[in-house]
């Protein structure tokens, strides 16, 4: 039986596009049918069912992948437990660092292949996949290789002469990691880098919508690490995700996904009191002051909302423009949008690729139509489909909406597409209140030449990351994570090691034992 993870059809694109994508796929898709990666082997699902990896641009089938079951999760957890208690668990921090460094070197040699897989399966522009996603992918493994070797293992607690007290960090053991489809290869490093550096073994579930690059990265890891250190079970959230988040023998959970997925994870993890880290959605404010460098602010706005076709949790989807510059800013922003290339993600000049699929395209479209019905004005975009050879692919053109109310649906909910809502402001305290008036708190942007204002706003904004005169800069190894309903925990930096390890306190008595009375 062949199970499709969601409804798909071959899209009506030109023969030239279809042939170009087929030729690209033949160079990077290494097998027609992928199994789960468990204990160093490609293994069939217990129920014998398949899912499908689909080209986001053409709708063509790239390969079949396993549709996993709870039994498959059990096998993966068993393999992870054995290796963390055996070969992997016996390595020193320095030895773990060497392995992570070797993984980084091998990945660096394969970035062209990995980027192409992501462009095919997600519609991500290849230029971005190669020089953003894959750069972060490799750097994360290098960063955590260094941290594995150099991070303090614990501390000595000051005491009197008759006691010695110290702490020690230990791995949890088996980590269950669940990832999203918008940055599939990069998110593998976000999870595996710190988890492995801390000494854990991992059971990894990629999104059913984007699987192939995750499998490619995991296979490279598996060739360097003891079998069973990294295991991958592919399939749906209802089957594999549910089994992982409620598994009694998984010691730590980490998820990147939607708010709904985060809530489901917490509910399941609560039954076993399993520690959980979450990186969820966002509705991030991007605030432009009247003294801002408009050229830089406009370029930063493009990056904030249209990078990855808007399919990003950090998207600066709420743009707050001071009323003195709003009209000029919107006019110049419209011109900048016109210069963007919407097209084939494999083309080197493409800035905006298709949505992940037609179902998601319709979801984004529905948000725009609802906003217009509620009174919003389309200042740019709204012509969803591209013409010519890509006409049948699931594109949404960059769209800018003005006259949006703070309480309108599109002003409150995460759209996850290239749709920007514009708000005007006059009073500083008022715009700060409006920017914070959201259940999310993943990121925020501030554009001003006044550093006092910038620092004041950064201190008051309720967001895990605040960018000043830039946006979406995640290249530096600084902690990343959310406030409020955008999640818990941190990734990308040294703070992530704390998410994948637990502290043991050891107290040594060198004197007499206290008496009862």
What pTM value is reported for the model? Answer: 0.94
Which residue has 């217990």 as its token pair?
46
Task: Provide the residue range defining the domain that includes 374.
Answer: 285-468
Residue 447 parent element (H or E): strand 443-447
Classified as helix, coil or strand, 9 is: coil
Residue 102 catalytic?
A: no
The reply to whether 87 and 119 lie within a common domain is yes
Q: Give CA–CA dist 232/184, Å, rounded.
A: 13
> Does the pLDDT of residue 142 top 50, yes or no?
yes
Q: Clarify whether residues 289 and 271 are in a common domain.
A: no
Give residue 2's pLDDT: 34
pLDDT of residue 152: 74
Q: How confident is the model at residue 385 (pLDDT cuts 50, 70, 90)?
A: low
Residue 514 in domain? no
In a domain, 12, yes or no: no
244 and 310 together in one domain: no
pLDDT tens-place string over residues 254-297: 999 999 999 999 999 999 999 999 999 999 999 999 999 999 99
The answer on 218 and 176 residing in a single domain is: yes
Strand stretches in 259-415, DSSP E: 276-279, 285-288, 318-322, 377-380, 399-402
Comparing C-alpha atoms, which of 221, 86, 147 is closest to residue 500? 147
203 three-state secondary structure: strand
Q: Tell me, yes or no, whether 263 and 295 share the same domain.
A: no
pLDDT tens-digit series, residues 12-56: 899 999 999 999 999 999 999 999 999 999 999 988 778 999 999
| Residue 394 pLDDT grade (very low, low, confident, very high; cuts 50, 70, 90) | very high
Tell me: do 339 and 415 sit in the same domain: yes
3-state secondary structure labels for all residues of 389-422: HHCCCCCCCCEEEECCCCCCHHHHCCCCCCEEEE
Q: Any residues with CB less than 8 A from the CB of 406 and at least 6 apart, and which? A: 412, 423, 434, 437
Pick the catalytic residue from 121, 139, 279, 424. 279
Residues 297 and 213 in one domain: no
Q: Is the pLDDT of residue 212 over 90?
A: yes
Beta strands in 70-224 (DSSP E): 156-157, 163-171, 174-178, 201-205
Contact 259, 293 (CB under 8 A): no
pLDDT at 5: 35
Q: What's the CATH number where 344 sits?
A: 3.40.309.10
User: Is residue 127 in some structural domain?
Assistant: yes
Helix or strand or coil: residue 446?
Answer: strand
Do residues 275 and 303 share a domain? no
Mean of per-residue pLDDT scores for the chain: 94
Q: The domain spanning residue 65 has which CATH number?
A: 3.40.605.10
Q: What pLDDT digit, counting tens, does each position of 84-116 carry?
A: 999 999 999 999 999 999 999 999 999 999 999
CA distances from 370 to 366, 403, 408, 412 (A): 6, 13, 9, 13
Q: Classify residue 28: in a domain, yes or no.
A: no
Cβ atoms 220, 106 nearer than 8 A? yes
My answer on whether 253 and 337 are in the same domain is no
Position 202 in a domain: yes
Is residue 21 assigned to a domain? Answer: no
Rounded to whole angstroms, how far apart are CA atoms 306 and 283?
14
Torsion 63-67-72-77 (CA) sign: positive
Closest CA to 235 of 203, 267, 270: 203
Contact present, 224 and 217 (Cβ < 8 Å): no
Q: What are phi and psi of 29, to 5 degrees?
A: -85, 110
Question: How many Å is the Cα radius of gyration of the chain?
Answer: 24
Provide the pLDDT for residue 94.
95
216 with 346, same domain: the answer is: no
Map residue 167 onto helix, strand or coil: strand
Closest to 241 (Cα-Cα) out of 208, 211, 218, 213: 208
* The pLDDT of residue 384 is above 90: no
Residue 512: inside a domain: no
Residue at 510 is within a domain: no
Place of tokens 């699987």: 211
Q: Does 322 lie in the same domain as 416?
A: yes
Domain count, the chain: 2
Residue 136 has pLDDT above 70, yes or no: yes
Shared-domain flag, residues 441 and 497 = no
């Amino acid at each position: 039986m062949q199970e499709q993870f969601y409804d798909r059809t071959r899209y009506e694109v030109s023969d030239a596009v279809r042939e170009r994508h087929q030729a690209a796929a033949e160079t990077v898709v290494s097998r027609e049918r992928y199994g789960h990666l468990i204990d160093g082997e490609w293994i069939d699902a217990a129920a014998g069912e398949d899912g499908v990896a689909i080209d986001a641009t053409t709708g063509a089938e790239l390969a079949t992948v396993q549709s996993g079951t709870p039994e498959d999760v059990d096998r993966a957890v068993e393999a992870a437990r054995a290796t963390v208690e055996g070969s992997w668990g016996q390595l020193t921090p320095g030895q773990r660092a060497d392995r992570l460094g070797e993984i980084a070197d091998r990945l660096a040699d394969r970035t062209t292949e990995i980027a192409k897989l992501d462009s095919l399966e997600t519609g991500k522009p290849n230029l971005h996949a190669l020089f953003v996603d894959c750069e972060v992918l490799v750097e994360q493994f290098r960063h955590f290789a260094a941290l594995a070797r150099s991070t303090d293992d614990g501390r000595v607690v000051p005491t009197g002469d008759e006691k010695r007290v110290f702490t020690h960090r230990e791995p949890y053991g088996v980590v269950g990691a669940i990832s999203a489809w918008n940055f599939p290869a990069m998110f593998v490093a976000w999870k595996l880098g710190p988890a492995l550096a801390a000494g854990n073994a991992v059971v990894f579930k990629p999104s059913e919508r984007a699987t192939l690059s995750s499998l490619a990265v995991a296979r490279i890891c598996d060739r360097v690490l003891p079998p069973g250190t990294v295991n991958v079970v592919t399939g749906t959230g209802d089957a594999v995700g549910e089994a992982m988040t409620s598994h009694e023998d998984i010691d730590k959970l980490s998820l990147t996904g939607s708010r709904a997925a985060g809530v489901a994870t917490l509910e399941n993890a609560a039954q076993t009191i399993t520690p959980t880290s979450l990186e969820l959605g966002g509705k991030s404010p991007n605030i432009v002051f009247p003294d801002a460098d408009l050229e830089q602010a406009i370029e930063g706005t493009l990056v904030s909302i249209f990078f990855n076709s808007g399919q990003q949790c950090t998207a600066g989807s709420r743009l707050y423009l001071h009323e003195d510059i709003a009209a000029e800013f919107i006019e110049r922003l419209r011109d900048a949008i016109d210069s963007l290339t919407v097209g084939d993600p494999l083309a080197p000049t493409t800035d905006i690729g298709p949505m992940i699929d037609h179902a998601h395209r319709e979801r984004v479209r529905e948000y725009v139509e609802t906003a217009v019905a509620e009174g919003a004005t389309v200042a740019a975009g709204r012509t969803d489909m591209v013409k010519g050879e890509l006409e049948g692919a699931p594109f949404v053109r960059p769209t800018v909406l003005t006259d949006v109310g703070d309480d309108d649906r599109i002003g409150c909910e995460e759209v996850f597409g290239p749709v920007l809502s514009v708000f005007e402001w006059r009073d500083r305290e008022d715009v700060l209140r409006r920017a914070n008036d959201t259940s999310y708190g993943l990121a925020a942007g501030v554009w001003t030449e006044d550093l006092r204002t910038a620092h004041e706003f950064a201190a008051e904004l309720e967001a895990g990351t605040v960018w000043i005169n830039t946006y979406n800069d995640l290249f530096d190894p600084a902690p990343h994570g959310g406030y409020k309903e955008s999640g818990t925990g941190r990734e990308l930096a040294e703070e992530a090691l704390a998410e994948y390890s637990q502290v043991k306190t050891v107290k040594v008595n060198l004197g007499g034992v206290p008496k009862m009375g």
